[in-house]
Chain A
Amino acid sequence: MIEVAGLRVVLPPAVVAVDGIDLAIQSGEFVVILGRSGSGKTTFLRALNRLVEPTAGRVRVAGRAVTGAGPAELRAARRQIGVIFQQFNLVRRASVLDNVLAGRLGYVAPVPSLAGRFPAADRTLARECLGRVGLAHLAERRADTLSGGEQQRVAIARALAQAPSVILADEPTASLDPALTTEIMGILRSINVERGLTLVVSQHQLETALAYATRIVGLRRGRVSFDGPPAAVTPAVVDAIYGGEEGNPPRVPLDRGERQ
């Protein structure tokens, strides 16, 4: 489903964020990417749909080339990759429904969409996706009037509206409290189980990662430092992922760090 070969990303001015990753992810896997801040998790995920441009290497998702694709091919590849962000990234002033409808932009005719017109079928689908995350009743509300947990659910609905084959989630719960973390990860798991969607989720919380993943990939300084099932994550593995030159390895989930 996702094939990554020799992926390398150098961010300006000269930061090697991803330093040669090879990874093959099968359809239906729930992969959690673990690693401390700055290990390259975010850059890796953003390179998978070229929100950042890879410096070298090859990425294919659901049978389509992402790297080397022309503008139209890239858009076609992107629309099958739903993305969920740490900061939700909703358009604040737009309604909840309009935010979810944005997930259809890769499918609808561009010109009418610029006038804000979407086919009835897409509107229905958007409402269904909102219902899937339990927010159908908030469709007309302005996005920025919702709580953080609700906003992230809207973002999940937007990703679902893309009818994706893959969902990438970059620290989807880092801005939320523990109860909401369980809720959001639960929704992601049910999507994974019910629809067979492939999920790649970055997390800095070890416990959460172990509870939901079918496969753990540890990143350290832009390289894969561990790849295996949650059951194989031993203290030595944790040390390999987190341990390091900068201070103590966070034996237990490093949890408060990136929260607001």
Chain B
Amino acid sequence: MRRAAIFVSLVVLAWVAWDTGADPWRLARGLPWIADFLRRMLPPDPSVLPAALKGALLTVEIALLGTAVAAVLALPLGFLSARNVAPAPIFYPARTVLNLFRSVDTLVYALIFVAAVGLGPFPGVLAVIAYTTTSLAKLYSEAIEGIEPGPVDAITATGATRLQILRFGVLPQVLPLFLSYILYRLETNIRAATILGFVGAGGIGFYLQTYLRMIDYPAASTVLLVTIAMVMVVDAASSRLRARLV
């Protein structure tokens, strides 16, 4: 059984490698070109730094606004798709809708929203909201499903209403987790938002794509360095905050 599984896996991998044209020699032959590319990126062009920083700020803004709106929109969805809170006739459709929307990536949403509302950071914000709402709702619902039942029993026993039970028995248990998930989503959204500019949805990706297209590699490398710095700063700040929550 195990042997058969290994054999099948190897066959699948081999076929996939062939089908994708994976070829280590081709990569080896290409290495000098990568080196050449990197050489042409150096030194970075400092004159585009202000533009890159402006782009970085916009990217952070897109991620921040999108995550904040999604964090709120995800709340009702999260409760409605938690098995231990929502009645079955609500839970199953809610879960299905979540899984459906979550299967589409932020970038795809960005393409749709750029077509709908035009170029700029706004479609980027909408794309972040669309993806993050459903992915946070899924994380919320899992946190809700993992709560201790004891305090919920105790609040129920006081004669509390359904909403009061959620507010006083469930919410205090899940709130720190929710905040931690929101920060985590903010981190991944910053990374996602750097790409959004490629499809016209604003932010630092727009500059990166523009300079690459103009074959201005020193300028592109400045943008790249700013992107890396931005991601690292946000990650560090966010993980420090998250460590305090749990």
Question: Within B132-181, which residues are at the interface with A (CB < 8 Å)?
Answer: 150-151, 153-161, 163-164, 167-169, 172-173, 175-176
Q: Report how many residues on chain B are interfacial, defined by Cβ distance under 8 Å.
A: 20
Q: How far is the CB of A63 from chain B (nearest CB, A)?
A: 15
When A91-B172, A93-B176, A94-B172 are in contact, do A110 and B163 touch as well, CB less than 8 Å?
yes
Inter-chain contact A91/B153, CB cutoff 8 Å: no
Question: Within A44-91, which residues are at the interface with B (CB < 8 Å)?
Answer: 49, 51, 75-83, 85, 87-91
Q: Which residues of A contact B155 (CB under 8 A)?
A: 91, 102, 105
Inter-chain contact A89/B159, CB cutoff 8 Å: no
When A51-B153, A155-B154 are in contact, do A91 and B159 touch as well, CB less than 8 Å?
no
Q: How far is the CB of A116 from chain B (nearest CB, A)?
A: 8
Q: Which residues of A contact B153 (CB under 8 A)?
A: 51, 83, 85, 89
Inter-chain contact A49/B157, CB cutoff 8 Å: yes
- Which partner residue on chain B sits nearest A87 by CB separation? B150
Select A114's contact among B150, B157, B163, B173, beta carbons within 8 Å.
Answer: B163
Q: How far is the CB of A233 from chain B (nearest CB, A)?
A: 30
- Which partner residue on chain B sits nearest A77 by CB separation? B159
Does A204 count as interface, using CB distance less than 8 angstroms?
no
Q: Which residues of B contact A81 (CB under 8 A)?
A: 157
A155 to B158, CA, bound (A): 11
Query: Which of A89, A90, A93 neighbours the largest number of chain B CB atoms within 10 Å of its CB?
Result: A89
Q: Which residues of A contact B173 (CB under 8 A)?
A: 91-93
A87 to B173, CA, bound (A): 16
Select A105's contact among B151, B158, B172, B175, beta carbons within 8 Å.
Answer: B158
Q: How far is the CB of B11 from chain A (nearest CB, A)?
A: 44
Inter-chain contact B167/A158, CB cutoff 8 Å: no
Q: What 5 pairs between A and B have smallest CB-CB spacing?
A: A106-B159, A79-B159, A89-B150, A89-B154, A105-B160
Binding site for A on B (CB under 8 A): 150-151, 153-161, 163-164, 167-169, 172-173, 175-176
